[in-house]
């Protein structure tokens, strides 16, 4: 038998046995979608959230309540957006669109998790420093060692001394005081590589072990971004996993993104988003 014939035979066996090559993308028409609101947060790092004189919700957080439980109403947010857009909380300038919905869908099989995000990216940003990427989309998953991660989402990575905060060191990135987040990001620039990284004592845009793949498409002002990654690390069947979403729209950089509060995806478990098993 020729080598090419042997190779084809081996590949056929691999496909038949359900190798990673055989995994098919989910039928998204059969996967429920939940809208999650993302909003421009200004200069409200975790220190601000945990200071009672700045944020009255600190008392609830100390009792174990979640940001979503207090601030989400009928699928929208009850924030005082005028306050966030004011000079005290946004000294550089707020975007014209302070909040918008992101449709979130999730699915999984024995090997991989699939996350699909759909949204209309607003213009009118106050920061347009990223000339290469019109849009960037990130999703982060904390491990069990991140304090209050299930309550605050990715806020535990945002600190007052981090890059682009007023008076902060321009070289200091997001970080956690305990534990770590798995980070995946899609960038709209042609040929941009998907980010498979982490946030621990600093943000690492590479070196992750989740095998992240990402693809995105734009139609009009609407985007569809799909992530594929291993069902491993922070993600496991039978577990509800906290997560947070960040969208940099209109060429924004640094803290000038729209972010979600903390939600959960249930992989064979109850969650704000319930992943469909395929």
Which residue is listed with tokens 């699928």?
A: 75
- Kind plus residue range of the DSSP H or E element containing 152: helix 149-152
Q: Rounded mean pLDDT of the chain? A: 92
Q: Tell me the C-alpha distance between 224 and 77, whole Å.
A: 23
Beta bridge partners of 244: 140
Q: Tell me the C-alpha distance between 113 and 121, whole Å.
A: 24
Express as a percent the part of the chain with pLDDT over 70. Answer: 92
Going by the DSSP 8-state scheme, the letter that residue 23 receives in this structure is: P
For residue 32, pLDDT beyond 60: yes
Question: In the prediction, which pLDDT does 23 show?
Answer: 61
Domains of the chain: 26-277 (2.60.40.1190)
Mean pLDDT across 160-184: 96
The whole model's pTM is what? 0.91
Q: Tell me the C-alpha distance between 244 and 259, whole Å.
A: 7
Q: Tell me the C-alpha distance between 182 and 129, whole Å.
A: 25
Q: Tell me the C-alpha distance between 261 and 66, whole Å.
A: 9
**Chain segment 106-116, per-residue pLDDT in tens:** 999 999 999 99
Contacts of 122 (CB under 8 A, 6+ apart): 95, 96, 97, 100, 249, 250
């Amino acid at each position: 038998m020729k080598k090419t014939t042997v190779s084809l035979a081996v590949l056929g066996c691999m496909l038949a046995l359900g190798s990673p090559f055989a995994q098919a993308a989910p039928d998204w028409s059969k996967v429920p979608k939940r809208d999650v609101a993302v909003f421009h947060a200004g200069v409200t790092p975790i220190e601000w959230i945990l200071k009672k004189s700045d944020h009255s919700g600190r008392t609830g957080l100390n009792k174990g309540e979640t940001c979503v439980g207090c601030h989400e109403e009928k699928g929208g947010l009850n924030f005082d957006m005028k306050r966030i857009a004011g000079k005290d909380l946004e000294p550089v300038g707020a975007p014209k669109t302070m909040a918008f919905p992101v449709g979130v869908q999730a699915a999984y099989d024995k090997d991989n998790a699939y996350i699909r995000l759909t949204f209309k990216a607003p213009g009118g940003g106050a920061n347009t420093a990223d000339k290469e990427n019109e849009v960037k989309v990130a999703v982060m998953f904390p491990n069990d060692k991140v304090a209050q991660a299930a309550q605050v989402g990715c806020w535990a990575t945002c600190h007052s001394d981090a890059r682009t905060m007023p008076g902060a060191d321009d070289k200091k990135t997001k970080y956690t005081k305990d534990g770590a987040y798995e980070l995946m990001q899609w960038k709209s620039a042609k040929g941009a590589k998907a980010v498979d990284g982490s946030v621990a004592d600093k943000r690492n845009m590479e070196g992750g072990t989740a095998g992240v793949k990402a693809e995105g498409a734009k139609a009009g002002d609407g985007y569809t971004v799909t992530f594929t990654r291993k069902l491993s690390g922070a993600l496991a069947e039978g577990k509800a996993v906290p997560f947070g979403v960040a969208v940099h729209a209109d060429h924004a950089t640094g803290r000038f993104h729209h972010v979600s509060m903390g939600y959960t995806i249930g992989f064979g478990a109850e969650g704000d988003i319930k992943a469909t098993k395929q």
